[in-house]
Chain A
Amino acid sequence: MSTNAKVRVATVWLSGCSGCHMSFLDQDERLVDLAKKITLVYSPLVDVKEFPENVDVTLIEGAVANEEQLAMLKKVRGRTKILVSLGDCAVTGNVTALRNSWRHSDQAVLERAYKDPADLNAAVPTAVPKLLIKARPLHEIVKVDFYIPGCPPHADLINYVLTELLAGRAPVMEGRSKYG
């Protein structure tokens, strides 16, 4: 990565609770240093609608649970040099994927959410993206370059990975990360 130009970083929020993004913000004052080195070109934290081209590093929170997210993930992968799975939903499926243990879990979970508890006009909404049969971690769909496990991952760990990547080094997770 060039040392002069700012590094183009994006973050994406798929099926997760946003806790990983909260943990990202928990880098606190280190965000000031980070802001000197990066441009946040796309994120739930900034107002950009379309995922841009030529992104250097993208952190993705959340599992892939529906067709819209599936398309988004593929688009992001195509436009990003280094893709990082941020947090357990992205890394393992985690809570988002708990439904996977049920057969036809896409239908089962919709019925449990919209039909079972309803007193009147019980119906599954049709205006939302179609659920995939299984919620899946990112690397089962696209190539992922680095993983930051944790629910949520510690801000120090996120900062470590970003610092290493910005320095042009590969982060070493052994003895640092906490699985699950």
Chain B
Amino acid sequence: MSTNTVKLKIDGVDVTAAEGTTILKAAKDVGIIIPTLCSLEGLTAYGGCRLCLVEVSGTPKLFPACTTPIGPGMDVTTQSDKLKEYRKIAVQLLLAERTHICSVCVADDHCELQAMANQLGVDHVMFERNWSREEIDSTHDFLVIDRNRCILCTRCIRVCDQIEGVHTLDLKLRGKDSQVIMDLDEKWGNSCSCTSCRKCAKVCPVGAIYVEGEPIEHTKKRDVAEFIVERRNRK
């Protein structure tokens, strides 16, 4: 283990952390919670949702805390009016991109996107909504994917690859057209690699992947990756 440490400031607090640590982790270790959606303990960082953007003094550019390593002498700001405005925009863009209708969603009240909207005071979406109509796949025995609710955080893809180790799920196409697919774009019920482990449904922050007929609060176990990684590392 590298013993090189880096000293920096986060929200005015002096922080010392190991070289290579991300701003998100270094902040969390001193009790500063930066809002996130795609990030999940136990999985590699993705940097897709842009909720964790922070300010670093000396540059006008904003940095995603989940993928940016700390540097010596860095002066990081995690909460400001500017950041809050950007975070509200990020949430609104996610809500506008696909057809999120909480009142008919299986994850209503158990949704991280909805919770983030509430936390940030997003009470409406200022952008005209896209009203996308994506494919719903319910061919699996009990797992369902409703791509209309997907925010493309790739948690499901990462947990399938990095924790379950089978890499059934992946992404096709780009930008707003991106879709979570099974194997080489097979129907889920025809997937030869899926082990039906449900980890994708457990970590999905929204109602895009769920277990048919099961109350969402029973399905969601968003710390499953962290839990398994911790157990595996026990000697």
A residues near B, CB below 8 A? 85, 88, 91-95, 97-98, 100-102, 134, 137, 139-140, 144, 147-149, 151, 172-175, 177-180
Neighbouring B residues of A172 by C-beta, 8 Å = 121
* Closest partner residue, chain B, to A99 (CB atom): B131
B102 to A177, Cβ gap below 8 A? no
CA distance A140 to B128 in the complex (A): 7
Is B123 a contact of A95 with CB atoms below 8 Å?
no
In angstroms, Cα B131 to Cα A93, docked, is 10
Question: Across the two chains, which residue of chain B brings its CB closest to A89?
Answer: B103
Minimum Cβ distance to chain A for residue B175 (Å): 19
Q: Which 3 pairs from chain A and chain B are nearest by CB?
A: A180-B102, A174-B121, A151-B103
What B residues does A139 contact at CB under 8 A?
Answer: 124, 126
B129 touching A93, Cβ below 8 Å: yes
List 18 additional contacts besides A88-B102, A101-B131, A179-B102; criterion CB under 8 Å: A92-B124, A92-B125, A94-B101, A95-B101, A97-B101, A97-B129, A101-B99, A101-B132, A101-B133, A137-B124, A140-B128, A144-B124, A173-B121, A173-B123, A174-B120, A178-B114, A179-B123, A180-B117
Query: Which positions 30-88 of chain B face chain A at CB distance < 8 Å?
Result: none
Task: Decide yes or no whether B108 CB sits under 8 A from chain A.
Answer: yes
Which chain A residues border B122 with CB–CB below 8 Å?
A: 179
CB neighbours of A151 from chain B (8 A): 102-103
Interface residue tally on B, bucketed by range: 20 to 34
Give the shortest distance, in Å, between B92 (CB) and chain A (any CB): 10
B residues sitting closer than 8 Å to A (CB atoms) are 95, 99-105, 108-109, 114, 117-126, 128-129, 131-133, 148
Task: Contact check, B101 vs A180: say whether CB atoms are below 8 A apart.
Answer: yes
Q: Which residues of A contact B118 (CB under 8 A)?
A: 175, 177-179
Q: How far is the CA of A175 from the CA of B115 in the complex (A)?
A: 10
A151, B117: Cα distance in complex, Å: 15
A140 CB contacts on chain B under 8 angstroms: 128
